[in-house]
Amino acid sequence: MDIPRFRLDGKTALVTGSSRGIGKAIADALEGAGARVVRHDSKACDLSDPAALEAWFDGLEKAGAAPDILVANASVQAKIPWAEFPRDEALREIQVNFLATLRMFQRAYPHMKARGWGRLIAVGSVNERRPHPDMCVYAATKAAQENLVRGLARQLAPEGITVNNLCPGVFATDRNREALADPVYGAKVLSAIPMHEAAMPEDAAGAALLLASDAGRYITGSTILIDGGLSIPG
Ligand SMILES: NC(=O)c1ccc[n+]([C@@H]2O[C@H](COP(=O)([O-])OP(=O)(O)OC[C@H]3O[C@@H](n4cnc5c(N)ncnc54)[C@H](OP(=O)(O)O)[C@@H]3O)[C@@H](O)[C@H]2O)c1
C-alpha cells in the first residue's frame, strides 16, 4: 500500500537514538516512506553534553541536513528509589530527556519556519500517566516534555509546524530486556497490560509516520499512547 499523503520524499528526518529499539524502527519507517534519514546514537552526539549538541547541529546545518522532521527519541533512565535519587543522575535525565529536546527543537525551528513546514515529535512514555515508583524522575522529565509539546503546538500551528508526543508503553527493547526476562517481574508487568504482551519496536512506527507526514497534518499538541491499554485507569 502506498498512500501519497504518507510519503516523505524530499524531507529530511532526524531521529535521535536510532541505532536500535524504537528509534531504529521509526527511522526505518520514515526512510521507507522516502525521507532522507539522519541516524543518531550516543557516539554521534552524547545528548548529556550541551556543547556536543551545538557542535552536532552546526555540522548538520553545514551539511544541508537541518531536519524537516525531528523525532526526539533518545532518553536515559535509572531505577532508583526517589528518596535516594542522586542529584547527578537527576540532572543527567533532565538534560538528555528534556533540555536536549528543547534545544533541538530550538535549533530545528528556524529551518522549519523558513520552509513553512515542520514536524517536531517528542517520544514520551506511559510513565507520564503511570509513574514507575523507582523512575519518578524519568517520568517527570517525560511529563515536562509533554507539557512543552502542548505549549509549542499552539504557537507553531500557524507556521505549518506540528508538535506532538508519542508515548510508548512497555516495549521489548534493550533497556528492559533483562527486567522482562525475569519470570516473576516480567509476568507482573505483562499482567498489568490489557493486551498481556510487550510491544515490538515496529509497533511505534505507524503512529510516527502518521505524525511525520501530511496524513497527520491536522494533529498537533496531541499525545498518542502506544501502550496496549496500560494507561487506561481502573
Ligand atoms: N522500551 C520501552 O519500554 C519504553 C517505554 C516507554 C518509553 N520509551 C521511550 O522510547 C524511547 C526509545 O526507547 P528504547 O527502549 O527504544 O531505547 P533503547 O533501545 O534503550 O535505545 C536507546 C537509544 O538512545 C541512544 N542514547 C542513549 N543515551 C544517549 C545519550 N546520552 N545521548 C545520545 N543518545 C543516547 C542509544 O544510543 P547508543 O546505541 O549509542 O547507546 C540508543 O540509540 C526513549 O525515549 C524511551 O524513554 C521506551
Quick check: is 179 in a domain?
no
**C-alpha of residue 134 to centroid of ligand 1, in Å:** 18
- Which is nearest to 105 in space by CA: 44, 155, 64? 155
**Known catalytic membership, residue 138:** yes
Quick check: is 184 in a domain?
no
For 186-213, the pLDDT digits (tens) are: 999 999 999 999 999 999 999 999 999 9
The pLDDT of 128-152, averaged and rounded, is 97
Neighbours of 110 (CB within 10 A): 12
Contact 118, 108 (CB under 8 A): yes
The pLDDT of 29-39, averaged and rounded, is 98
Q: Which residues of 111-124 are buried (b: 16+ CB within 10 A; e: fewer)?
A: bbeeeebbbbbbbb
Residue 64 above 70 pLDDT? yes
> How far is it, in rounded angstroms, from Cα 20 to Cα 227?
19
Supply the CATH number for residue 169's domain: 3.40.50.720
Quick check: is 194 in a domain?
no
Neighbours of 189 (CB within 10 A): 18
Q: Identify the pLDDT of residue 2.
A: 73
Choose the residue to mutate in 15, 56, 57, 75 for probing ligand 1, maximizing ligand atoms within 8 Å of C-beta: 75
Neighbours of 85 (CB within 10 A): 17
Quick check: is 189 in a domain?
no
> How far is it, in rounded angstroms, from Cα 53 to Cα 47?
6
Q: Identify the pLDDT of residue 86.
A: 98
Quick check: is 102 in a domain?
yes
Q: Identify the pLDDT of residue 81.
A: 98
| 212 within ligand 1 shell (Cβ under 6 A) | no
| 22 within ligand 1 shell (Cβ under 6 A) | yes
- Nearest residue (by CA) to ligand 1, atom 41, is 42
Quick check: is 81 in a domain?
yes
Total of domains in the chain:
1
Quick check: is 187 in a domain?
no
Residue 1 above 60 pLDDT? no
Selecting among 109, 138, 185, 218, the annotated active-site residue is 138
**C-alpha of residue 173 to centroid of ligand 1, in Å:** 9
| Band of pLDDT at residue 234, cut at 50, 70 and 90 | confident
- Nearest residue (by CA) to ligand 1, atom 42, is 17
Quick check: is 234 in a domain?
no
Instruction: Note down the domain range covering 206.
Output: 4-173+200-226
Residue keyed to cell 500557524: 158
C-alpha dist (Å) from residue 136 to 1, 98, 202: 41, 14, 27
> How far is it, in rounded angstroms, from Cα 19 to Cα 15?
9
